[in-house]
Amino acid sequence: MRHVLLRIWLVCFLVLVWVLLWGHFTAANVASGLAVALTITVLLPLPAVPVEGRLHPLSLLKLLVLVVYYLLMSSWQVAWLAIRPGPPPKVAVLRADLSALKSDLVLALAVNIFNLIPGTIVLEIDQARRVLYLHVIDAGSEDTMYRFHRQVEQVQQLLVATFERDEDWRPSPEREAGHT
């Protein structure tokens, strides 16, 4: 039943994206969007991703607020670095330890969060050790380094609280068999 509901949600989401791309809500756009969505989901299905935890809506809301805050603050900081007088900021490649994350799906979500935040980009992912290497703008002071590591820790804690709490964690059969 859950599989069917997820497929229905995916088709509805793809139809919505199609209508938004066309810019007008018409019967023709909805019908063509439905045709495209069904074609994509039937002929080009994505592999199943194991869902091993449970979603906690309040923690998700906290995570969204934190990410929006980081987006706004980082955008302002990058804009200031671009227009301020003086030498360019020091950049660095920093290591982010995300060893508390258990699932590949949540690790991928963490990578996307860090890529969305202005001033950082993930360069390399060590999936086995749960380590990210990020290019960071303005890494020239102890304060900025502390803020970066605090940001990584906060995002990791909220991802665990949102998706991977120990009491809700049920490893997928593939993980138990040692395939992932």
Query: Exposed e or buried b for every residue in 9-39, given b needs 16+ CB within 10 A?
Result: eebeebbeebbeeeeeeeeebeeebbeebee
Tell me the pairing of strands 131-137 and 120-126: antiparallel
CA-CA distances (angstroms) from residue 169 to 52, 137, 154, 160, 163? 6, 36, 20, 10, 9
Q: What is the mean pLDDT of the chain?
A: 89
Look at residue 173 and tell me whether its pLDDT is greater than 70: no
Q: How confident is the model at residue 169 (pLDDT cuts 50, 70, 90)?
A: confident
> Looking at residue 28, what is its pLDDT?
95
| pLDDT over threshold 90, residue 141 | no
The DSSP letter of residue 165 is -
> Is 179 a residue whose pLDDT tops 60?
no
Spatial distance between the Cα atoms of 37 and 160, rounded to a whole number of angstroms: 32
- Average pLDDT of the segment spanning 18-31: 95
The pLDDT of residue 68 is above 90: yes
pLDDT tens-digit readout, 74-127: 999 999 988 999 898 899 999 999 999 998 889 999 999 999 998 899 999 999
Cβ atoms of 107 and 50 within 8 Å: the answer is no
pLDDT for position 105: 87
**Could you report how far apart the first and last alpha carbons of the chain are, in Å?**
25
Q: What is the predicted pLDDT for the residue at 138?
A: 85
